[in-house]
Amino acid sequence: MIRPKTEEEIALMRENGILVSRTLAEVGKLVAPGVTTLELNRVAETFIRDHGAVPSFLGYDGFPAALCISVNDVVVHGFPSDYVLRDGDIVSVDCGTFYKGYNGDSAYTFPVGEVDADARRLLDVTKESLYRGIAAAVAGNRIGDIGHAVQSYAESFGFSVVRELEGHGIGKKMHESPGVPNYGRKGQGIRLVDGMTICIEPMINAGAKDVYLAGNGWAVHTADHSRAAHFELTVVVRKGQAELLSTFDFIEKDVKF
């Protein structure tokens, strides 16, 4: 059974959503050619701790950092490293916070310097596929409606959906039921209920859908070494329209909080 969250719980998760969103915006200000991914990680960890929260990824199943940073053909779960970002890279930054007993989780793929038109389209389509998925995350729909919305949009541009990884419920634990696949059939799967909190996170490859796991046991690469993008938001299922708990507005609109 998946227990919908109470409004008190959702209020605490909203605080996490804002913090994780602001952390991604802090990282985004630094993304540029010449910066190492370890520098991005350090800034994020400091920002999270300065706000009295804990970076939830650090130590999760032994993960060594506050952020997952995944460049170009790395889909997700890349380790921050001394890799120096280069003009034309795309870099996915996935961030989790633990604050007041609840979790926040969001990801954004940033262009580094000037990216080519194919990369720009991959980023735009992946982000829009996330919003299409969110539009389907309404009470009374089913989990497959979300995946169908993501998949049908992304594939209409010739891109492919990674099957091995998916979104998830979120709350006191970072990963709760249900799994939220980025592919699926309309009307299939569990029914969505008002108050369910889920992370929707399309992982979209420019080439084929196949992936492999790196030797470190974490980083997921595209098998054909095409580029991949990843965007994630935490939402509450509501009647009529999902409510966003995290947002890209701090990144894209430079809003103040």
Closer residue to Mg ion, CB minimum distance, 55 or 184: 55
Tokens encoding 250 = 């701090």
Tokens encoding 128 = 């829009």
Contact 109, 130 (CB under 8 A): no
Residues in region 216-235 near Mg ion by CB under 5 A: 232
Q: Give the contacts of 149 (CB within 8 A, at least 6 positions apart).
A: 129, 132, 133, 135, 136
Cα 51 from Cα 61, distance rounded (Å): 24
The Cα angle at residue 51 between residues 71 and 253, in degrees rounded to 5: 55
Helices (H), the chain: 7-30, 37-50, 117-135, 143-155, 249-252
Contact 230, 221 (CB under 8 A): no
Shortest distance in whole angstroms from residue 155 CB to Mg ion? 22
Cα 85 from Cα 91, distance rounded (Å): 8
| Residue 89 found at the interface with Mg ion (CB under 5 A) | no
Shortest distance in whole angstroms from residue 107 CB to Mg ion? 5
Q: Which of 45, 73, 105, 145 is the binder for Mg ion (CB under 5 A)?
A: 105
| Residue 199 found at the interface with Mg ion (CB under 5 A) | yes
State the number of binding residues for Mg ion (CB under 5 A): 5
Closer residue to Mg ion, CB minimum distance, 109 or 151: 109
Provide the terminal-to-terminal Cα distance of the chain, rounded to the nearest Å.
36
| Residue 94 found at the interface with Mg ion (CB under 5 A) | yes
Closer residue to Mg ion, CB minimum distance, 58 or 157: 58
Shortest distance in whole angstroms from residue 90 CB to Mg ion? 17
| Residue 176 found at the interface with Mg ion (CB under 5 A) | no
Cα 119 from Cα 227, distance rounded (Å): 8
Closer residue to Mg ion, CB minimum distance, 18 or 156: 18
Closer residue to Mg ion, CB minimum distance, 89 or 232: 232
Selected range binding Mg ion among 31-39, 117-125, 180-188, 198-206, rule: CB under 5 A: 198-206
- Chain centroid to CA 188: how far? 23
Selected range binding Mg ion among 89-97, 117-125, 149-157, 221-229, rule: CB under 5 A: 89-97
Closer residue to Mg ion, CB minimum distance, 105 or 176: 105
Contact footprint for Mg ion (CB under 5 A): 94, 105, 107, 199, 232
